[in-house]
Amino acid sequence: MVQIVDEALAKPLAGQVLVEVEAIGVNPFDYKSYSGEFGADESALPLRLGSEASGIVRAVGNTARGPAGPISVGDEVIVSGAKGAYAEKLLVPADAVLPKPSSLSWEEAAGLLSVAGTAFDTIEVVGVSAGDTVLVHGAAGSVGSIVVQLAVARGARVIGTARAVNHEALLEYGAEPVEYGSGLLDRVKALAPDGIAAAIDTVGTDEAVDVSLALVSDKARIVTIAAFGRAGKDGFTAVGGGNPESAARRKKARADLVAAAGRGELKVPIAKTFPLAEVAQAHAELNGEHPRGKFVLIP
């Protein structure tokens, strides 16, 4: 059961900041963490949900310095890698706070870094570079759409799987869309008769894995963010899931990803916003077929 409870917050200690939250990014991990998918350890309860948000700094502890430098009361910020970001106010380490570009809305800022960091991680792991032909599974999803944008920016040719309703959006990002489902392998071969250099799976289906393995000869250039069992069984890379190397890559890339979004080079589509009180409904909808883009909670 998801509940909202009142909790008093202390003043920031050294190295901490207090943020008044304007928007909160919603991610599949949030509901998976209590669904039983990651186990059912009752000793871990209650869980504090959410890892990313945007807001305004209201108090600063001594020696609080973020990745971009000193933090001041009144700064508009992005909070990344926090615990319990589903809140009206957040007490977080200063290292979790980055300046919010004025060009980004609160919603865009709150929904940026989880998906962009994950996307960057996949791109780095398979070494996408100019001239590569890259297959992206789930290319219209929140992570997949950022993967497409980053790969195109590196000079790669991108073929992206998606429902037909999302093909126009993929074309706008510079990808060549292809319908997933029966016959996917043949459709991709027809688009790329010279072969696929790398495959990035953001959905975790057997279809995505099987097609990737059939098309990419070097397993080091196949990566998934979801099919962890298949990765272990079939000998390709999975990122995330508590992997410290993934966490380090994503953390290192935060400032560059924020800057790129601020310049308009990375687009974060927002599918829908919900009041914080409707968090259970947001999770239910995110767990089913839903509009393209991020879900965001508003305190």
pLDDT per residue as tens, the chain (299 positions): 788 888 888 899 999 999 999 999 999 889 888 866 666 676 666 888 999 999 999 999 999 999 999 999 999 999 999 999 999 999 999 999 999 999 999 999 999 999 999 999 999 999 999 999 999 999 999 999 999 999 999 999 999 999 999 999 999 999 999 999 999 999 999 999 999 999 999 999 999 999 999 999 999 999 999 999 999 999 999 999 888 999 999 999 999 999 999 999 999 999 999 999 999 999 999 988 888 899 999 99
**Residue 297's closest CA among 289, 287, 283?**
283
Residue 57 confidence (pLDDT): 98
pLDDT score for 139: 97
pLDDT at 158: 98
Output the pTM of the full model: 0.94
Alpha carbons within 13 A on the beta-carbon side of 164: 1
Amino acid (1-letter code) at residue 30 = D
pLDDT of residue 5: 85
- Closest by CA to 72, choosing from 97, 89, 52, is 97
The whole-number pLDDT of residue 23 equals: 98
Do 253 and 114 touch, CB atoms closer than 8 A? no
Model pLDDT, residue 37: 65
Q: How far is residue 24's CA from residue 87's CA, in Å, rounded to a whole number?
A: 8
Apex CA 80: angle with CA 25 and CA 1, to 5°? 45
Residue of 2, 19, 38, 40 whose CA lies nearest to 85: 19
What is the chain's alpha carbon radius of gyration, rounded to the nearest angstrom? Answer: 19
Give me the phi and psi of 249, to 5 degrees please: -60, -45
Which pLDDT does position 68 carry in this prediction? Answer: 94
CA 11 to each of CA 8, 60, 80, 236: distance values in angstroms, whole numbers, following the listed order: 10, 8, 20, 46
At residue 86, φ and ψ (nearest 5 deg) are -75, 85
Helix (H), strand (E), coil (C) string for 34-84: HHCCCCCCHHHCCCCCCCEEEEEEEEECCCCEECCEECCCCCEEEEECCCC
Q: d(Cα 23, Cα 117) in Å, to the nearest integer?
A: 18
71-96 core/surface letters (b: 16 or more CB in 10 A; e: else)? beeebbbbbbbbebbbbbebbbbbbb
- CA 216 – CA 202 distance, rounded (Å): 16
